[in-house]
Structure 1
Amino acid sequence: MIRYIETISVERGAAIPLAEYHLQRVRETLGEEPDFLRSEEQLVRLFRANRPAEEAGQYKLRLVYSAAGIEEVSVTPYTYDIRRVRRLQLVELPSDYRYDRKYLDRELLDRIAASLPDHETVALLTQGGRVTDTTFTNVCLRRDGRWETPDRPLLEGTRRRSYLDAGAISAVPVSVSELLAGRWREISLINAMNPLGRMILPITSATLFVAPDEPSESLDEAPVE
């Protein structure tokens, strides 16, 4: 049975700002509204039942689930500082690779992340000459004071969808050639845990570079989801 994950930001007082978007993704993933994940109240109960004693301003609620129900629940203080990211390495994906659901199995994405030179570098994924996202975030790019996001991400994140619904960002084609030519000036990485603007990098030759040539087996042998 296929297993999926949902990573949810919980703030002080058990507030879950993106609850409806997470529940919507679960419904779309399973093709139905499951009894075990249909309301924000259920998410809050899962958080409170597994909350650690350590106080934090933000927690990560991680669920592993399948069509049969919730299999694992963990709650941890969120301590990762995305602002430590200093460089983006362009990595081209196989043309047939898909990650349109938040699968627990992330073998290829994890392998790409593990191949990076240091913890300050993130893989900026491309497919067919177009930018998609990173191994753990969606991407927003600023041009002429406007924030835009690639229109073909591998995975449509909950925060990305919320910003699109609110009109805060717009989805546009983002080609690698235009990105390298300087069409966009800044980049911000977003996911359920990190809002737009928490991490912003200027797009320069010092922050954006192409991955060195690697043997084809490093990517092409990975299974397609």
Structure 2
Amino acid sequence: MSCVIKSMSPCFETLKAVDGEIFHLAFHQARFDQTRQALYGSTYKLVLSEHLTPPKEGTYRVRVEYAEALQKIEYIPYAPHTIQTFALVETEINYAYKYCNREALNAHLQGNSDDIVFTCKGELQDTSIANIALLIDGEWKTPLYPLLKGTTRERLLKSGALKAEVLDMKSLQKAQKFAIMNALIGFKIIDNVLWIKE
């Protein structure tokens, strides 16, 4: 008999919708299915497209909160924020699933930076809201062991635009460019990055 450990926190999926069209739905559906099976033991399929009706005009952040069943769907007007300053934070956090409870991540946010980049035992991981990539010797590389395997990261790895490998502080020093990625911002190169050590 298998034992399923129930999560204490529901999870959420963040999707981008522009003028009623949801971007890259198949990648979100795959993570949604895998999370429901792994955390909540769900054996029946929920098709996200059957439940999502984003507004027909404008750009929206679609937030789907769920456990075994759907709990809440929100359509939030999306306006990108300027992110240029990052604090480097060394810690060990388990965020392999996109939990609604983000206290472990948010506890490290700082007032002197726009976001943070987590490191674990010297290896680069993610920001608090996005996966990262470094341009090294003409190739875009992303950490082999991120905090969370994002859907944009997965899509770019499958397309060959990204390569996953262990990245550390030396990698950061060698990088010609730095980028962040998630479902809302896509793949965004950050010019004139300022790094702050914790």
1:4 maps to what in 2?
Answer: 11
User: Do residues 125 (structure 1) and 115 (structure 2) align?
Assistant: no
1:150, CA displacement in angstroms? 0.7
CA RMSD of aligned residues (A): 1.9
Q: TM-score, normalised by structure 2?
A: 0.86
- 1:42-66 Cα offsets, whole Å, 9 max, x none, are 2xx4224xx4x9x42x211001100
Equivalent residue runs for 1:18-167 within 5 Å: 18-31=24-37, 32=42, 34-35=44-45, 37-39=46-48, 41-42=49-50, 45-48=51-54, 51=55, 55-56=57-58, 58-67=59-68, 69-81=69-81, 84-94=82-92, 97-113=93-109, 115-118=110-113, 121-167=114-160
What is the identity, as a one-letter code, of the residue corresponding to 2:11?
A: Y
- 1:8-49 Cα offsets, whole Å, 9 max, x none, are 01122x2222101111001111225644x325x32xx4224x
What is the identity, as a one-letter code, of the residue corresponding to 2:52?
A: L
1:146, CA displacement in angstroms? 1.7
- Secondary structure of the 2:27 match is helix
Q: TM-score, normalised by structure 1?
A: 0.77
CA contact (8 A) 1:6 1:102 kept: yes
- Secondary structure of the 2:174 match is coil
Identity %: 26
- Secondary structure of the 1:24 match is helix
Unaligned 5+ runs, structure 2: 1-7
Output the CA distance in 2 between the equivalents of 1:38 and 1:72: 15
Q: Which one has the bigger strand percentage?
A: 2
1:151, CA displacement in angstroms? 0.7
Output the CA distance in 2 between the equivalents of 1:5 and 1:116: 26
Output the CA distance in 2 between the equivalents of 1:33 and 1:199: 39
What is the identity, as a one-letter code, of the residue corresponding to 2:75?
A: V
Output the CA distance in 2 between the equivalents of 1:34 and 1:184: 44
1:194, CA displacement in angstroms? 1.0
Output the CA distance in 2 between the equivalents of 1:102 and 1:59: 19
1:73, CA displacement in angstroms? 1.0
User: Do residues 200 (structure 1) and 198 (structure 2) align?
Assistant: no
- 1:90-115 Cα offsets, whole Å, 9 max, x none, are 00113xx21000011110211222x3
Could you list the structure 1 runs, at least 4 aligned residues long, displaced by more than 6 angstroms after superposition.
none
- Secondary structure of the 1:159 match is helix
What is the identity, as a one-letter code, of the residue corresponding to 1:193?
A: L
2:4 maps to what in 1?
Answer: none
Q: Which one has the bigger helix percentage?
A: 1
Q: What is the total number of aligned residue pairs between the two structures? A: 187
Unaligned 5+ runs, structure 1: 212-225
1:3, CA displacement in angstroms? 0.5
Equivalent residue runs for 1:174-189 within 5 Å: 174-179=167-172, 182-189=173-180
